[in-house]
Amino acid sequence: MGGRKKPSISQLEKRMSKERKEREKGKADRSYEMRLKPSGELTQGSIDQITEGIKGMPYVTPYLLATKFGLKISRAKSVLRELESKGVLKLVDKNRRLSIYVVAS
């Protein structure tokens, strides 16, 4: 009754190769590999990667940390609290919904 016509074979091949390149590019962009202990905590190596990754950032929020390293927001919050207790980060402002940290100098 109408509708879209089927794409030709060459169009399908082009689409598939384009999607494959985008997938490979997405994997290459994510150079951070977060490892978890059996208890669900991040390993010390993962925390060291996070520490190195946030040194150049002007400020750090749980959302920024979660998107950059592929973590859940709740885990990002706990990592930020842990880094603050170690003295790596300093809490600048906090309210019910958001915590803003800067790198301690």
* Per-residue pLDDT, 28: 58
* Per-residue pLDDT, 33: 65
Neighbouring-strand partners of residue 36:
42
Segment 71-78 long-range contacts (CB within 8 Å, at least 24 positions apart): 71/34, 75/42
The model carries a pTM of 0.65
Contact indicator for 54, 32 with CB cutoff of 8 Å: no
* Per-residue pLDDT, 4: 87
Residue 2 burial (CB count, 10 A): 4
Contact indicator for 82, 34 with CB cutoff of 8 Å: no
The one-digit pLDDT tens for each residue of the chain (105 residues) are: 788 889 899 999 999 999 999 888 766 555 566 666 676 677 788 888 889 989 989 999 999 999 988 888 998 999 999 999 999 999 999 999 999 999 997
> Domains of the chain by range and CATH?
34-103 (1.10.10.10)
